[in-house]
Amino acid sequence: MEVIDGNSAIAEAIKQIGPDVVISYPQIPSISILESIASFIANGEMDSEFLNVDSDYSAMSACIGVAASGGRAFTATASQGLALMHETLFIASSLRLPIVMGITNRALAAPINFNADHSDSMAQRDSGWIQIFSENSQEAYDNIIQAFKIAENKEVRTPVMVGIDSTFNFNVHENVYVQTNDEILEFENKPDSNYSILDIENPKTVGSFCTPDYFFEHKINQNKGIESSRKIIKDVGREFGDRFNRYYGYFETYKLEDAEFAVILMSSAAGIAKKAIDAMRKKGEKVGLLKLRVFRPFPYKELRESLSNLKSIAVLDRVLTPGTYGGPLFIETMAALYGLEKRPLVYPYIYGLGGRDIMLKHIEDTFDDIKKSFNNEKSNFEIKYINLRE
C-alpha cells in the first residue's frame, strides 16, 4: 500500500509495465506523470527510452512511429495538448496501433483553466480510441495496467486513453494498493508483436491513399477492433479481479439494485455521490448510482439492463457541449434506453465545469429534483446546471 496521488499512481503503473518508449510534452497537470517517469529512468529504476518532443502533436506522432515498429508507447497529456493531438488520434486508431495514453482530464480553453472537467476527452469521443475513466488513484493505477492488455489484444488492436480528473490546486493523496512487479509482468504477459515496419524481410505500405472503392470497408474493419474490445474489457477486468481482488467492468453500480432514482456520472464525483446516497438511504430514500468507467465503446446493452427498472435518472455531464440537448453521457444514455418499452425518465444535468465543486447537498438536491419531476409536480426536461451562480 502506498499513499500517492493519481498522477503518481499512473507513473507507478508505467514503471512496472516498462513500455519501450515514453514520450513527453509538458501539459498541466499531466506532466507530473512524465516527470516521475523521467526520474525513475534517471535513477535506473526503469529502462524505457524517454523522448522529449516539440508538441503534443509530435508526441502522438512519435507514439505512432513506436507502435508501428511493434513497440509499446506511452504518453500523457491534458486539455489543450489532447486537443492538439486530435488529428493524430484518428490516425493511431485507424492504423490499429495499441498505444496507451494517460489523460488528466482538464477543461479546454477559453478561458484557460487547469482544473477538472471532461471537455478534453469528450472532444475525442469519435476518435476511435477506447476511453476509460477513473474515480481515484487506485482506479487510475488499475486502469493503466489493464489498458495495455486490452489495447494489445489481437482482436482489439485499438489505442486506449485512461482519464483521471485533474487535481490541480488540490493535494489528493490516497491509499493505493500497488502490486509487485512480478504480479504485473505475469498479468501483462506481453506477446512479441509480429507486426512491425522494422521487419525488413516483409515490406509494408502503411497509411495508403484510399479512394471511395475501399474507404468504407476500411472504416468498418477498424470498427471491428473496438467492437471486439467489449468482450476483452470484461475479460481483462475479471482476470484482474481474480488476481488482485479488484474487479472491473463497464461501470460500477452503487446501491442500484432496488433503487427507484439514480444518478449517472463518471470519475471523481462518484465519491461524493456515494456519500450522498448513503445519507439519503438512511432516511429511507431508494436512491443509487451508476458510475460509468468505459465511455468508448459505449456499453448501451448493459446500461439498458441495469437502468430499465428505475423511475427516473439524472445524467450528470462534466462538460458543456454548446448547442446540444444535454452532454454526451446524457445523449448516449437516452439513445441506449430509447429502445426499451418501459423506460425511466432521463434528465440532463451539467456540473463541475473548470473544477467547480460538487457537494453532498448538490447530489441530494438533484435526487429531489428528479423525484419531483417524476411525481409530475413540475416536470421539466430542460438542461439544469448544478452549483452555477445565478
Partner 1 sequence: MITLKELTNKEDLFVSGHGLCPGCGIPIILKLVLRATEYPIVISNATGCLQIASTKFPATSWKLNWIHSSLGNAASTISGIETMYRVLKKKGKLQTDTEIKFLAIVGDGGTNDIGLSSLSGAIERGHDFVYLCYDNQSYANSGGQRSSASPIGTSTSTTPTGKVLPGKLQYRKDITKIIVAHKLPYVAQTAPWNWEDLYTKAKKAFDIEGPAYLNVLNPCPKKWGIPSNKSIELTRIAADTCVWPLYEIEAGKNINVNYKPENKLPVTEWLKSQNRFKHLLNIENRWIVDEIQDEVDQNWKWLLKQEKRGINN
Q: Which position among 3, 210, 220, 335 is part of the footprint of partner 1 (CB under 8 A)?
A: 210
Query: At its nearest, how many Å lie between partner 1 and the CB of residue 187?
Result: 21
Query: At its nearest, how many Å lie between partner 1 and the CB of residue 262?
Result: 43
Q: Which position among 26, 39, 45, 49 is part of the footprint of partner 1 (CB under 8 A)?
A: 49
Note whether 346 and 380 are within 8 A (CB).
Answer: no
**CA neighbours within 13 Å on the CB side: how many for 232?**
23
Query: At its nearest, how many Å lie between partner 1 and the CB of residue 7?
Result: 23
Residues 111-170 that bind partner 1 (CB under 8 A): none
One-letter amino acid of 205 = T
Q: What's the rounded Cα separation, in Å, for the pair 240 and 237?
A: 5
Q: With binding defined as CB under 8 A, does residue 110 bind partner 1?
A: no
Q: How many CB atoms lie within 10 A of CB 202?
A: 9
> In whole angstroms, how far apart are CA 217 and each of 21, 153, 265, 297?
32, 21, 35, 20
Size of the site for partner 1 (CB under 8 A): 46
Letter string b/e over residues 102-126, b meaning 16 or more CB atoms within 10 A of that residue's CB: bbbbbbbeeeebbbbbbbbbbbbbe
Q: Which position among 154, 190, 204, 301 is part of the footprint of partner 1 (CB under 8 A)?
A: 204
Note whether 52 and 41 are within 8 A (CB).
Answer: no
Query: At its nearest, how many Å lie between partner 1 and the CB of residue 54?
Result: 3
Closest CA to 74 of 133, 16, 2: 16
Q: With binding defined as CB under 8 A, does residue 196 bind partner 1?
A: yes
Q: With binding defined as CB under 8 A, does residue 87 bind partner 1?
A: yes
Note whether 17 and 184 are within 8 A (CB).
Answer: yes
Q: What's the rounded Cα separation, in Å, for the pair 169 and 1?
A: 24
Binding mask 15-44 for partner 1 (x = CB under 8 A): -----xx-x---------------------
* Residue 55 or 380 having the CB closest to partner 1: 55
* Residue 44 or 322 having the CB closest to partner 1: 44
**Segment lying near partner 1 (by CB under 8 A), choices 29-37, 157-165, 207-215, 291-299:** 207-215
Interface residue list for partner 1 (CB under 8 A): 20-21, 23, 49, 51-55, 57-59, 61-71, 73, 87-88, 91, 95, 192, 196-201, 203-211, 214, 218
